[in-house]
Amino acid sequence: MQIRFTKMQGAGNDFVVLDETQGRLGLSAAQYRFLADRHFGVGADQILTVRTPTAEAAADGIDFEYVIHNADGGEVEQCGNGARCFARFVHDKQLSGKDAIRVQTKSGVIAPRLTPDGRVTVDMGRPQFDPALVPFDAAGLTPVAQGSGQKWPLALDGKALDATVLVAVVSMGNPHAVQLVDNVDTAPVQEAGPLVERHARFPQRVNAGFLQIVDRGHVRLRVFERGVGETLACGTGACAAVAAGIRLGLLGPEVHVDTRGGRLTIAWSGADTDSVYMTGPATTVFEGQIDIPDTLV
């Protein structure tokens, strides 16, 4: 099967974008893995698919459906950096003439908006801190209260680490566990990241964030993403980390997040009823076509 694709990146988080507005490609999990493979395919952290909404969703003002597959071929609920690239793609491909669109994801509706400076702002919805909604199994654990938030003790297994870390658990439509570190450059991301990601207390696995507070308006962040590994940036991870930092009393309402791939700006009032807003770059890298084997395992 030969398909056309667009390669995009947002703060170094890179994507293959597929247009299915004229019909479904019907790709399997193995074919998504092939596309994401950096040796045999195009190479990407996630595969993003643009689809037309159902008639019912369109009647409710939804412009597009947004489908996300991780590099391991699994479908996931949300991708913040991808949402910005999604908005840039539909604008550049003239699939929509709107600067602001409403997009249906697996976890709910988001609203990306192109800004005059060329960046994209996304209404990422409200953060959820209830462990059951993340989801996180908090049975038998006693949280450590800080500010208006909580940090949960998480015992890590493995020869490399024999410790309990404290994590703030947050859902931004997908699950995140955020731990504070003194320096992201020396944080044990490669050692602790996989242990947190696949910890038994996260039944759907989790994105493991390592957050360094520089000041109340500036942080540094690394994220070991579920089903991907460490990426140069993670949009939902930045939103989750800032929301957690605000709840813990460590951050103000607007925060610059420096990732290894670039800077994102996250704004949240701290009110449970208000959305988190993420602003950052979205860039097309190249376009092409690729032959995907019909049979893959």
Positions marked catalytic: 79, 234
Q: Is 90 helix (H, G, I), strand (E, B) or coil?
A: helix
* Cis-peptide into 127, omega within 30 deg: no
Which DSSP string corresponds to 171-192? ESSSEEEEEE-S-TTTS-HHHH
Query: Tokens 């929509």 identify what position?
Result: 96
Backbone dihedral angles phi then psi of residue 259, each to the nearest 5 degrees: -105, 175
Which DSSP string corresponds to 99-138? SB--EEETTEEEEEEE-TTS-EEEE----B--GGGTT---
From residue 134, how far is each of 107, 175, 204, 231 by CA, in Å?
Answer: 12, 5, 9, 21
Kind and range of the H or E run holding 65? strand 64-70
From residue 203, how far is each of 39, 74, 146, 184, 265 by CA, in Å?
Answer: 31, 15, 25, 26, 30
Distance CA 76, CA 81 (A): 14
